[in-house]
Structure 1
Amino acid sequence: MVQEIWHLDTRRTRSISAENPTGEPGAGGRAIAGTGAFAAAGLGRGWKVSPSIDLGPGETVTLADISGPGVIRHLWLTTDRSILRDFTLQMYWDGAPDPAIAVPLGDFFCNGWDQLALVNSQQIVVAPAGGLNSYWPMPFHSHALVTLHNGADRHVPVYYQITYVEEDIPDLSGYLHATWRCSDPLGAPAVHPILETGGGPGRYAGTYLAVQPRADGWWGEGELKFYLDDDAEYPTICGTGTEDYFGGAWNFDLEGAYRPYSTPYLGMVQVIPPHRIYEPHQRFGMYRWHIPDPICFEDSLRVTVQALGWREDGHYLPLEQAHIASTALWYHALP
């Protein structure tokens, strides 16, 4: 829990960027070589000599290697916004061999498709013209490692800043996890698995969903279902439709058009192309953050979404050819 801004204590703020790769006190802006060296010629040290890094095709770079305890409070990054899904963001907590977060960069920032969408939410902000901001708090006890992999076929510049606070972490704190799953095509049954995890306790914190229905008409009749702990065939939490889960209603259709929206905890920020409706190859991106309404589980959690359309004869239509990609975020006792 973030304390009041006026509360003075012993916490210390540190920040890692290409200008201060270690985050050490007094170590920022000291580079004598870097991607800005030519532009800074004649100005000397301290004048934006190293504002970014160059990331080659197939390369993985360590953005941050931090000793704890602490909490990452803000991550800002920008790069080639046309290929955001070609990058993979990974985060490891407390020496775990496998990443707790392993997600395409675009999907982590609610931009799963190849056209930039601006996002104005509590946890994720995407600002003009491609500034990617995360405000998900990420606590760790002893160590945090953040990497970025370039899966594209060209060199790209990467500008970034990771701000964290050195502070003690309560024993009952959870680690942030995120996983990405893609079904393309979905197949039968038309149910996409968003998350299946055990070894709780934990709290489910958010969903980003990228959908291409590949069928005419309305595509969002499917329910999101949360199977908690001992649930077997039937879930404890079951919604009434995809647009309902993301806070909308009635097909997102307002006077014959989809209306994108972005609010603190939920939104539909991508409609591609924007001025058409009920077409099979349109693409959609939606998010919901369970901050005021976390989904708590003691041991295990399974989350699914149905891909279900609507036929003109009044019957449901399973969308077996749909493209669905999901990013699930949750806090977990295990790193």
Structure 2
Amino acid sequence: MQKFAFSLLLILCGIITNAQSKFDGLDMNMSNLSRLSDAKTRSISPENFTGEKGKGALADPIKQKGQRNVANAANEADELGTGWKVNPFIIINPKETFTIAEIDGSGAIQHIWMTPTGNWQFSVIRFYWDDEKTPSVEAPIGAFFGMAWNTYAPMNSLAMTVNPGSAFNSYWKMPFRKKCKITVENINPDEAMRLYYQVDYTLTTVGDDEAYFHAQYRRSNPNKGSLHTILDGVKGKGQYVGTYMALGTRNNGWWGEGEIKFFMDGDKDNATIVGTGTEDYFCGSYNFENKAKKQYEEFSTPYAGLHQVIRPDGLYVSQQRFGMYRWHIQDPIRFDSDLKVTIQDLGWRQGGYLPQESDIITVAYWYQREPHGAFPKLPAKAEIEIH
């Protein structure tokens, strides 16, 4: 009996030791913030392009004045010296791509903050993990952060926040094993953009069970066949973790009767997971309506929200537009081999459903093992532009 008890104790100690060894600083919450880790915290910004230890705020406004993307605030800081606010932003010229972060080693991005000037849809962000040639994330910055209509609205959720006046924040965990590269392309041929940003990350070991973060942009304008594809062509094992959708109506009345469908692991004509309506999927009900005020009511919660309602102004803003999100943080949709996600574009008219041709923009967020399937080609500037 004593021998059995001792063996059991060794097994339990092994389990505990293994659990502790897996704690590497990737997953932090209120319950484990006090636990120590050997992970190294780093941050990349225009004041430290490489994130190297002890290499921040080295730009000299005098010696480097006038050089591109070095000491961009030289005029404002010409009476200051090294270590002051000398280079807080970068300038990306028309049709230029700038690498805002390039990290060697294993670790994870834990937070991104940025605020771009100009049209938010004309700045395209891309993420590359390890040695891949095609991005795992590709979307206009505005759409990626839930602002596809190029108009500010507050968003307060666990995965994303958008704060006054145009502060975009991502808290999605993004592991990598060999390398991480993030680029921003200015697709506007006529105007340079200014970008303030900070990429906060950790350098640490990454477990075998960690998948790679992906995000994909799509737009149907106008939508055809009353069906919008949110995501298709995903191959491999992973989990779907979120949807952002912007919808512009072309008709009066209620627009959100459409059902979302998740086709997974060999589903063909019939999906495994089917919702009951658009507002239901985004965790609202009955038209998102405040019955007392007879108005759509915006809301923004940790996991879901209708955070943006753009109302007609009686002049040039003639159509209603909406922005909403649903994060599958507590309820990820897991798949083993493949995934396709669609949403119906249905409204309501007297006596029945109304097939619509809405303007629909979506960004799908998911994790999977690499390699990922081919993304559809990103639409040209004219098709991304908001009118």
Q: Does TM-score exceed 0.5, indicating one fold?
A: yes
Q: 1:263 aligns with which of 294, 301, 308?
A: 301
* Partner in structure 1 of residue 102 of structure 2: 65
Q: Distance in 2 between matches of 1:289 and 1:197?
A: 21
Q: Which residues of 2 match residues 1-335 of structure 1 at below 5 A?
A: 2-3=27-28, 4-32=32-60, 33=64, 34-80=71-117, 83-152=119-188, 153-188=190-225, 190-255=226-291, 256-273=294-311, 281-312=319-350, 314-319=351-356, 321-335=357-371
1:275 Cα deviation from its structure 2 partner: 8.4
Aligned partner of residue 42 in structure 2, secondary structure: strand
Q: CA deviation digits over 1:226-268, x for unaligned, max 9?
A: 0111211111111110000001000111121000110011101
1:114 Cα deviation from its structure 2 partner: 2.2
Q: Distance in 2 between matches of 1:107 and 1:237?
A: 25
Aligned partner of residue 75 in structure 2, secondary structure: coil
Aligned partner of residue 42 in structure 1, secondary structure: coil
* Larger Cα-atom Rg: 2
User: What amino acid maps onto 1:147 in structure 2?
Assistant: T
Q: Answer yes or no: is the 8 Å Cα contact 1:212–1:280 preserved in 2.
A: no
Q: Distance in 1 between matches of 2:260 and 2:300?
A: 20
User: What amino acid maps onto 1:63 in structure 2?
Assistant: I
Q: Distance in 2 between matches of 1:7 and 1:274?
A: 51
1:274 Cα deviation from its structure 2 partner: 7.2
Q: Answer yes or no: is the 8 Å Cα contact 1:258–1:274 preserved in 2.
A: no
Q: CA deviation digits over 1:67-95, x for unaligned, max 9?
A: 12010001110022x51111111000011
Q: Answer yes or no: is the 8 Å Cα contact 1:91–1:147 preserved in 2.
A: yes
Q: Answer yes or no: is the 8 Å Cα contact 2:235–2:339 preserved in 1.
A: no
Q: Distance in 1 between matches of 2:55 and 2:323?
A: 40
Q: Distance in 2 between matches of 1:148 and 1:118?
A: 23
Q: Distance in 2 between matches of 1:198 and 1:22?
A: 33
Q: Distance in 2 between matches of 1:197 and 1:171?
A: 24
Q: Answer yes or no: is the 8 Å Cα contact 1:213–1:280 preserved in 2.
A: no
Q: Distance in 2 between matches of 1:13 and 1:285?
A: 34
Q: Distance in 2 between matches of 1:84 and 1:150?
A: 10
Aligned partner of residue 195 in structure 2, secondary structure: strand
User: Which residues of structure 1 form unaligned runs of 5+?
Assistant: none
Q: Distance in 1 between matches of 2:269 and 2:131?
A: 36
Q: Answer yes or no: is the 8 Å Cα contact 1:118–1:126 preserved in 2.
A: yes
Q: Answer yes or no: is the 8 Å Cα contact 2:312–2:319 preserved in 1.
A: no
Aligned partner of residue 319 in structure 2, secondary structure: coil
Q: Answer yes or no: is the 8 Å Cα contact 1:227–1:236 preserved in 2.
A: yes
Higher helix share: 2
Q: Answer yes or no: is the 8 Å Cα contact 1:221–1:310 preserved in 2.
A: yes
Q: Distance in 2 between matches of 1:207 and 1:161?
A: 24
1:197 Cα deviation from its structure 2 partner: 3.1
Structure 1 residues 258 and 274, CA gap change in structure 2 (3 angstroms):
farther
1:56 Cα deviation from its structure 2 partner: 1.0
1:119 Cα deviation from its structure 2 partner: 0.7
Task: Count residues with an aligned counterpart.
Answer: 329
Q: Answer yes or no: is the 8 Å Cα contact 2:105–2:179 preserved in 1.
A: yes
1:170 Cα deviation from its structure 2 partner: 0.7
1:43 Cα deviation from its structure 2 partner: 1.9
Q: Distance in 1 between matches of 2:365 and 2:155?
A: 17
Aligned partner of residue 198 in structure 1, secondary structure: strand
Q: Answer yes or no: is the 8 Å Cα contact 1:118–1:269 preserved in 2.
A: yes
* Partner in structure 1 of residue 378 of structure 2: none
Q: Distance in 2 between matches of 1:68 and 1:174?
A: 16
User: Which residues of structure 2 form unaligned runs of 5+?
Assistant: 1-25, 65-70, 372-387
Q: Answer yes or no: is the 8 Å Cα contact 2:256–2:279 preserved in 1.
A: yes
Q: CA deviation digits over 1:37-90, x for unaligned, max 9?
A: 12222221111111100111111100000012010001110022x511111110
Q: Answer yes or no: is the 8 Å Cα contact 2:213–2:367 preserved in 1.
A: yes
